Amino acid sequence: MLRRLANYLILVIVATSLAYFLAALSLNPRSNFEAQKPRPTNAQIDATLKTYNLDPETPVVVRYARWVDGIAHGNLGKDIKGGSVADDFARKVGVSIRLLVIATLIGSIGGVLVGAYGAIKQYRFFDRWTTLASFFLLAMPVFVVAIALQMFAVNINESAGSTLIQYTGEYNPTLSGFWPVMLSRLQHLILPTITLTLFQIAQYSRYQRNTMLDVLGSDFLRTARAKGLRRRTALMKHGLRTAILPIVPLLVYNIVLLFTGATFTETIFGWHGMGEWLVLSITTNDVNAVAAVSLFTAAVVLVAGLLSDLIYSALDPRVRFS
């Protein structure tokens, strides 16, 4: 267990360092300042870059050492506009959480239910159509679905004559008061939640259907029926419970990873969360932000891996930690 943890940690460190070096070497933060109007003098740009630890004249190893030193003191450095990366970080994680909680809940529960029901009704109407639908979804990039939903929302809004469904941003900042703001938040939440939910259901229902099919053919389920349990009880208590087991670690892993994975949904629907930050930090040549995002991503992968291992061994006593 400890060895595994140590191994994970080393991987995280290597991955983050590599990301830092790549970002520091291939991105060009100077272009940001050169595009400013009025354009600062070269000396000013150099000085600013220096204070942000982005000076290309300093050897990259020295910059890296400073960055690591900063992290050790809980300081993630400055972003390209001079703000603190740590503050951005906290704000964006919050946005991502607000976006993901509902979608994840509906997505995972829905996925399990759809998959399990499809397996029970194998090759019937429901199963065929959900299978076909998830095929369809999984063959599509996320942005196609997201934009299609946006266009759909525009049509609805036009036919309704008012904007029922909002498709950019998190809420309308001009509103005040608790209920109007809540309503606005809900209106903004609909489309990204549908996008995320659809993909999660499509993905999880496939796994759930497979494991459920395995369980349905098993001896213990026949035994449960033979001892007189009703079909529903047998399926719920003996069938679904067993079939969910292998899915849970996978769910946990995917859910934790979603923290930085909602890139398209966040970008297209204008939510300023972690996923959008990932893209934004690269397009704005913001080296410190890129480094922070990759540190977070690596940490998230580590947590996801450990958590799903732990949950698996807690749920299934046959599995031991090696």
Partner 1 sequence: MSIQQNVEHEPEADATPALLPPRRSGRGRLTLRRFARNRLALVGIGILVLLFLFAYVGPLVDKWGYNDHDFTAFLDGPSGSHWFGTDQAGTDIFALTTRGLQKSLIIGLLVGLITTTLAATLGAVAGYFGRWIDRVVMWIVDMLLVLPSFLIIAVLSPTFAKSSWLILVVLLALFSWMITARIVRSMTLTLKDREFVKAAKYMGVSDMRIIFRHILPSMASLLIIDGTIQVSLAVIGESSLSYFGFGIQPPDVSLGTVIADGTSYATTYQWLFWFPAGFLVLFGLAIAFIGDGLRDAYDPNSSNAKAQAKAIKEKGKSKDGESDEAAGQRVGSTEVLSQA
Pick the binder of partner 1 from 58, 143, 181, 310 (CB under 8 A).
143
Which of 71, 105, 181, 279 is in the footprint of partner 1 by CB under 8 A?
279
Cβ contacts of 117 within 8 Å, gap of 6 or more: 126
Query: How many angstroms separate the CA atoms of 133 and 206, rounded?
Result: 11
Closer residue to partner 1 in complex, CB, 113/181: 113
Query: Six-digit token pair at 274?
Result: 């972690």
Q: Which of 60, 62, 138, 156 binds partner 1 (CB under 8 A)?
A: 138
Per rule CB under 8 A, is residue 148 in the interface with partner 1? yes
The correct pick among 55, 85, 293, 309 for binding partner 1 (CB under 8 A) is 293
Asked whether the beta carbons of 71 and 77 are under 8 A apart, the reply is: no
**Rule CB under 8 A: is residue 288 a binding residue for partner 1?**
no
Phi, psi for 84 (deg, rounded to 5): -85, 130
β-bridge partners, 84: 78
The mark string for 239-278 relative to partner 1 (x by CB under 8 A, - otherwise) is -------x---x--xx--xx-xxxxxx-xx------x--x
Using CB under 8 A as the binding criterion, the count of chain residues that bind partner 1 stands at 71
Minimum CB distance to partner 1, residue 85 (Å) = 16
DSSP string of 189-235?
Answer: HHHHHHHHHHHHHHHHHHHHHHHHHHHHT-HHHHHHHHTT--HHHII
> What one-character DSSP code corresponds to residue 311?
H
The DSSP bridge partners found for residue 78 are 84
Which of 32, 92, 28 is closest to 287 using CA atoms? 28
- Pick the closer one to partner 1 by CB: 68 or 302: 302
- Find the shortest distance in angstroms from Cβ 15 to partner 1: 5
- Nearer to partner 1 by Cβ, of 136 and 180: the residue is 136
Report the residue from 6, 62, 65, 132 that binds partner 1 according to the rule CB under 8 A: 132
Under the binding rule (CB under 8 A), the answer on residue 15 touching partner 1 is yes
Residues 21 to 40: which contact partner 1 by CB under 8 A?
22-23, 26-28
